[in-house]
Amino acid sequence: MTTVRDTSGVRAVGEAFLAALSTQDFDALAGYLGPTMRMRTLLPTGHYEHHGSKEVKSMFVEWFATARDVEVLETRLDTVADRLTMAYRFRLRRMVGGPLKEIEQQAYCKVVDGKVVTIDLVCTGFRPAEADVVSSDG
């Protein structure tokens, strides 16, 4: 006998989370975070662990609040068994007049009662956007 999980609620949380992130609505994003949640991150600068919705929200604010000219290049959302998987790639300027950067993050999340309670996230860091990369061939 095959058991089929209803993941529509989990997917809805992921869709709302991605919508809030892509529009820099950090208060809405925080509404989908469980108050005692945990986020582990693997960033170019190292690996970190953050606890509680306020601390996790502050990380997304640190990464994206000053971003300008945000272009959503790609989003992917799916479930693997009981985990929500989200991936997103943005092209943006980290500040007004700054160079174009691209960033991609892949997140694996546990969702309970409509709240994200764990996030395991891998990030590329802010990479020079292809449009701003100058060829060294001259």
pLDDT at 130: 79
pTM over 0.85: yes
Per-residue pLDDT of the chain (138 residues; tens, 9 = 90+): 544 456 779 999 999 999 999 999 999 999 999 999 999 999 999 999 999 999 999 999 999 999 999 999 999 999 999 999 999 999 999 988 899 999 999 999 999 999 999 999 999 999 999 765 554 344
What is 8-130's CATH number?
3.10.450.50
The burial class, CB within 10 Å (0-12 / 13-18 / 19+), for 49 is: exposed
HSE at residue 54, side-chain half, CA atoms within 13 A, is: 0
